[in-house]
Structure 1
Amino acid sequence: MSNIKIKVISRNPEDYLRATKRDIHKLPRNYDPSLHPLEAPREYVRALNAVKLERVFAKPFIGNLDGHRDGVSSLAKHPSRLAVLASGAFDGEIRIWDLAVRKCTRNFVAHEGWVRSLCYTPKGDTFTSVGDDKTIKSWKAEVESPDDEEPINTLLSMSVVTGVTHHRIKPIFATCGEHCQLWENTRNEPVKVFKWGVDSLHHVSFNQVEDNLLASCASDRSIILYDCRESGPLRKVVMELRPNALAWNPMEAFIFTVANEDYNLYTFDVRKLNHPVNIHQDHTSAVIDVDYAPTGREFVSGSYDKTVRIFETLKGHSRDVYHTKRMQRLTCVKWSLDNKYILSGLMK
Structure 2
Amino acid sequence: MKVKVLSRNPDDYIRETKHDIQRVPRNYDPSLHPFEVSREYTRALNATKLERVFAKPFLASLDGHRDGVNCLAKHTRSLSTLLSGSCDGEVKVWDLTKHECVRTLQAHGGFVRGMVVRYCGNSFFTIGDDKTIKQWKMEAPGYGEEEEPLNTILGKTVFTGLDHHQKKGVFATCGQQVDIWDEQRSTPIRSFTWGVDSFSSVRFNPVETELLGSCASDRSIVLYDMRESTPLKKVIMTMRTNTLCWNPMEAYCFTCANEDYNLYTYDMRHLEKPIKVHMDHVSAVLDIDYSPTGQEFVSASFDKTIRIFSKDDGHSRSVMNSLCFSFPTSHSAKRARTDLKVPASQGVYCF
What is the TM-score normalised by the length of structure 1?
A: 0.79
Question: 1:166 aligns to what?
Answer: 164
Q: 1:55 to 1:180 in 2, by over 3 A?
A: same
Q: For the residues of structure 2 that align with 1:120 and 1:110, how far apart are their CA atoms?
A: 15
Q: Does the CA contact (< 8 Å) of 2:177 and 2:199 recur in 1?
A: yes
Q: Does the CA contact (< 8 Å) of 1:307 and 1:330 recur in 2?
A: no
Specify which of 177, 180, 184 is matched with residue 178 of structure 2.
180
Question: 1:263 aligns to what?
Answer: 261
Specify which of 228, 231, 236 is matched with residue 229 of structure 2.
231
What is the TM-score normalised by the length of structure 2?
A: 0.78
Q: For the residues of structure 1 that align with 2:171 and 2:248, how far apart are their CA atoms?
A: 18
Question: 2:129 aligns to what?
Answer: 132
Q: Does the CA contact (< 8 Å) of 1:163 and 1:175 recur in 2?
A: yes
Deviation string, structure 1 residues 223-262 (Cα, Å, up to 9, x no partner): 0000000001010110000000100000001110000001
**Counterparts of 1:1-348 in structure 2 under 5 Å?**
57-59=53-55, 60-145=57-142, 147-324=145-322, 327-331=323-327, 347-348=345-346
Deviation string, structure 1 residues 72-103 (Cα, Å, up to 9, x no partner): 11000001111111100011000001111011
Equivalent pairs counted in the alignment come to: 285
Question: SS of the residue aligned with 2:63?
Answer: coil
Q: Does the CA contact (< 8 Å) of 1:77 and 1:86 recur in 2?
A: yes
Q: How far off is 1:149 after superposition?
A: 1.2
Question: SS of the residue aligned with 1:101?
Answer: coil
Q: 1:186 to 1:301 in 2, by over 3 A?
A: same
Q: For the residues of structure 2 that align with 1:142 and 1:70, how far apart are their CA atoms?
A: 24
User: Whose radius of gyration is greater, 1 or 2?
Assistant: 1
Q: For the residues of structure 2 that align with 1:77 and 1:90, how far apart are their CA atoms?
A: 19
CA RMSD of aligned residues (A): 2.0
Question: 1:11 aligns to what?
Answer: none
Q: Does the CA contact (< 8 Å) of 2:246 and 2:290 recur in 1?
A: yes
Q: Does the CA contact (< 8 Å) of 2:68 and 2:326 recur in 1?
A: no
Q: How far off is 1:57 after superposition?
A: 3.5
Q: For the residues of structure 2 that align with 1:347 and 1:163, how far apart are their CA atoms?
A: 20
Q: Segments of 4+ in structure 1 off by > 4 A? A: 52-56
Q: For the residues of structure 1 that align with 2:266 and 2:169, how far apart are their CA atoms?
A: 28
Q: How far off is 1:268 after superposition?
A: 0.4
Q: For the residues of structure 2 that align with 1:100 and 1:287, how far apart are their CA atoms?
A: 29
Deviation string, structure 1 residues 307-341 (Cα, Å, up to 9, x no partner): 000000000000000014xx111346xxxxxxxxx
Counterpart code for 2:116: C
Q: Which has the higher contact order (CA 8 A, sep 6+)?
A: 2
Percent identity, aligned pairs only, is 52
Q: How far off is 1:295 after superposition?
A: 0.6
Q: Does the CA contact (< 8 Å) of 1:248 and 1:256 recur in 2?
A: yes
Deviation string, structure 1 residues 113-151 (Cα, Å, up to 9, x no partner): 100000001100000000011000000000233743100
Q: For the residues of structure 2 that align with 1:322 and 1:203, how far apart are their CA atoms?
A: 25
Q: 1:278 to 1:135 in 2, by over 3 A?
A: same
